Structure 1
Amino acid sequence: MPSDQPQPAFVLVRPQMGENIGAAARAMWNFGLDRMRIVDPRDGWPNPKAVAMSSGAGRLLDEAQIFGDLDGALGDRTFVFATTARQRELTKPVFSPERAMQMVAEKVAAGEKVAVLFGPERAGLENDDIAKANAIISVPVNSEYASLNLGQCVLLTAYEWMRQSGEVVHEQNDLGSRGDWATGIEVEKLVEHYEERLEQAGFFYPPEKAEGMKLNLRNLWSRIRMTRADVQMLHGIMRQMVRWKEKG
């Protein structure tokens, strides 16, 4: 059964290759979407190549709804977006994938039934298809090479959906098993240790440049955020190098 999460339906219009349908299913499943509708697939349905390419998203394909025409696929929808990478002469509002998925999230949360249309691989949606949509999602691509694979377009749009649903972690600094972050005192002791040993090794040469070299070295340390384990390891490296030198 499809999930209970309110979400848009992704409608593949006249897809030509089973492999691309499978790639689209895989992309949807990656980002928590499972409402696929397929309109007039060229090679019929079910399609074993789609299942093979779906890589574990076969349940989504099993539950996909098949329609003979686009009107049938959109019959219960209250708002429709059409994806395209090409400029169209139709007078409709045009949104980026990010803004469009913001709108989809708002509309779905308000109880609307939203569809997002994706065209066939060779030339994308026809104007007759886009005429049935309320708005356009324009994918920003290289103007000299506007060809976008069906699976890629679904992936891009599905990712933006997940971003708007608040499930994307934009930054993470989890130390895991590495322990705690090093304190300022611990880093300062490490800096002093290295400066002392490098001084003994004659690294800060010539003398008139020594202060500038030390400043650059301290600046380097400050750009590296270290854990206590990192600091201990670097102390150990320097101690071992000194022992090795003394043995020689």
Structure 2
Amino acid sequence: MRSDIPVTVLIRPQMGENIGAAARAMWNFGLDRMRVVAPRDGWPNPKAVAMASGAGRVLDEAQHYDDLDAAIADCTHVYATTARPRELTKPVMTPEAAMRDAAARIAAGERVAVMFGPERAGMENADIARATTIVTVPVNPEFPSLNLAQCVLLMGYEWRRATEEAPETRLEGQRTELAERQEIDALGAHWEERLDEAGFFYPETKAEGMRQNLRSLLARLPLTRADVQMLHGVMRQMVRWKDRG
């Protein structure tokens, strides 16, 4: 059994479909350690298998427990996901902070679990009493309830963010190599030359400012080499069209 990811503990889940949807949400983000505690409709559950669609391996390897204490007995740090105010005094984290914390603990050799309560009413105080840390999502206070799969998905996403390097923005496609400064300068010179021949830089008193604006425009754009080649071609074709006239 893997020890480099959190254990996902579903406490008294009520519907097989929700268990299956939670399995899909887990596997979307590389999580496959599920523990199911006292599911209402028994275990295994055919409806969970049907809903998991593509994430069946999570259910195949899921462990079944009759009580919560047994499900988290081997864990050193346990997070309880809940949106309700509770009487118990515990540290409260956002999902982002909790999964960063979990990643650090796992890297240090700890075994971590994240608990999710039943669909209808969430975890009871007796469940939360067994947690080390509470995780609360900053949701709309007038409608704070998330369904089981949504909550599992959100925690899985934050786990992935905490453990995988991913650029916030990137350029995708077949030809994404960015143009070098000299290539953009050559494009600017080409356009400036042709536009000058066409009388674009007029009147003379504004010509220098117009040339600078053109160069500034090209400098601002994240042009690829393919973009630069196309824009050279556009200008060449426009000149040929003009000459045919």
TM-score, structure 2 length as denominator? 0.87
Whether 1:34 and 2:25 are equivalent positions in the alignment is: no
| Long gaps (5+) in structure 2 | none
| CA-to-aligned-CA distance 1:156-178 (integer Å, 9 cap, x gap) | 2122222333x232257578752
In structure 2, the residue matched to 1:20 is 18
CA deviation after TM superposition for structure 1 residue 5, in Å: 4.7
Change (3 A) 1:244 1:43: farther
Task: Identify which of 69, 78, 84 aligns with 2:82.
Answer: 84
The aligned amino acid for 1:216 is N
Displacement after TM superposition at 1:211 (Å):
3.3
Matched, 1:216 2:216: no
- Name the amino acid aligned to 2:15: M
Match of 2:158 among 151, 157, 160: 160
Structure 2 match to 1:141: 139
Distance 1:34 1:180, change over 3 A: closer
Cα 1:203–1:23 shift into 2, 3 Å: farther
In 2: Cα distance, 1:199 partner to 1:56 partner? 61
Report the counterpart of residue 96 of structure 1 in structure 2. 94
Cα distance in 1 for residues equivalent to 2:119 and 2:212? 58
Q: Distance in 2 between matches of 1:179 and 1:136?
A: 44
Go from structure 1 to structure 2 and tell me whether the alpha carbon gap of 1:80 and 1:234 turns closer, same or farther (over 3 Å shift).
same
The whole-number CA distance in structure 2 between the counterparts of 1:150 and 1:19 is: 10
Q: Deviations over 1:105-133 (max 9, x none)?
A: 23223333221101122332222211121
Corresponding residue pairs, total: 245
Give the secondary-structure state (helix, strand or coil) at the position aligned to 1:136. strand
Aligned to 1:54: 52
Mapping 1:184-223, distance limit 5 Å: 184-223=181-220
Q: 1:112 to 1:59 in 2, by over 3 A?
A: same
Give 2:147's aligned amino acid: N
Identical columns (%):
66
Pairwise CA RMSD: 2.4
Q: Secondary structure of the residue that 1:220 maps to in structure 2?
A: helix
Structure 1: tracts of 5 or more residues without a match:
none
Contact 2:23 2:52 in 1 (8 A): yes
